[in-house]
Chains A and B, each alone.
Chain A
C-alpha cells in the first residue's frame, strides 16, 4: 500500500450525488453520454458518484450497452 492506493480507497472531496440521485437520472445520463454530450459538465456530482460506486457504475455500463444494442423489435 502506498499513498496512491490510499487515495483510491478513500476517494476525493468532490461532490458526490449518492446512489439514489444517480439512479434517478441514470437514463438521462446514459443517453447524453451515448449522444456524445459532456456528462462531466452536465452531471458532475453523478459522474463523481459513478467513479466511487462500483454497483452504480456497473448499472450505468449495462444501461449504455442496452441503448447501443436496442432491444425493441
Chain B
C-alpha cells in the first residue's frame, strides 16, 4: 500500500499529461453547457493548462478512493480479505478509475452530475477486483463437472415434487448438452448453476464482463426455446 501511495504523485503527473494531450488532440477547448455548476467546475479544472489541473486530479483521486472504500465496506467483504489487502485493492481501484475518468473525459455530456459519472468507474473497478479476488486459486466448475448437476438437483426439492424435479432437471441437462456450444455450456454451468461471479469468469476466460454476459444471454435464450418446444416451459416473455 505504501509503495502504491508513494507512486501516486508520478501517476498523477502521468494522468495530467494525458488530459492535456487529449485536449490538444481533440481540440475541444470549450466546456459544454452543463446543468450544475459543480460539474462545470470539475471539467474546467481538469482541462486547465496550469496547476489547477493537478489539484483537481488530486481531489478527484481522493474522491474515487473514498467511493471505492465505501463500496467495499457496503459489500461486507468475507474474512479472507485483511485490512491491508482490502486497502490495496481500493487504492488500485482508485488509480484505475482515475485513468478511466480522464481517458473518457471528452465523452462526458453532462447528462448526470460529474461526480455520479466518476463514482460509476470507482464502483465498477472495486467490484470487479473484489469478485476476482474472491475466486483467486479456486477451481471454476465447468460443464463436464457432474457433481454440479447432482448438487443443483438436490437443492430445495420437496418430497412430493421429486419426480417433477428430476424430470425437469434431466430436460435442462439434455438441452444444455444438445443445444449449447462448449463455451456456452461452460459459462452457463459456471455462472448459473454454480454462482461463479461473471467478473471472475471473464478473467479466467480472458474476456470482458459484457462478452461473457452475451454468451450467457444467448445460452439462456436457446435453452428457453428448447424447453418451450419440449413442453417444459410456457412462453416466458412476460413475468
Which residues from chain A sit less than 8 Å from chain B, CB to CB? 1-3, 5-7, 9-14, 16, 18-20, 23, 25-28, 30-31, 52-56, 58-59, 62-63, 65-67, 69, 71-72
Contact = CB atoms under 8 A, between A and B. Distances in A.
B213 A18 contact: yes
Interface in B119-158: 119-120, 123-124, 127, 131, 152-153, 155-157
Contacts of A27: 111-113, 116-117, 119-120
List the 8 shortest-distance A-B pairs measured between CB atoms, nearest first: A19-B210, A27-B112, A13-B237, A20-B210, A62-B123, A62-B71, A27-B116, A27-B117
Contacts of A55: 127, 131, 197-199, 209
Contacts of A9: 172, 192, 220
Give the residue among A6, A30, A62, A67 with the most B Cβ atoms within 10 A: A62
B70 A71 contact: yes
Given A1-B165, A62-B74, A66-B71, A31 B112 contact: yes
A65 B68 CA distance: 12
Nearest to B69: A71
B214 interface: yes
Interface of A, helix, strand, loop or mixed by DSSP: helix
27 contacts: A1-B152, A2-B164, A3-B233, A7-B239, A9-B172, A9-B220, A10-B224, A12-B236, A18-B210, A19-B213, A20-B210, A23-B124, A27-B116, A31-B116, A55-B131, A55-B209, A58-B75, A59-B124, A65-B71, A66-B67, A66-B70, A66-B123, A71-B63, A71-B66, A71-B67, A71-B115, A71-B119
A69 B70 contact: yes
A18 B227 contact: no
A1 B223 contact: no
A53 B117 contact: no
A52 B214 CA distance: 12
B123 A19 contact: no
B79 to A, nearest CB: 20
Nearest to A25: B111
B161 interface: yes
Given A18-B210, A58-B127, A28 B112 contact: yes
Nearest to B113: A31
A3 B239 CA distance: 13
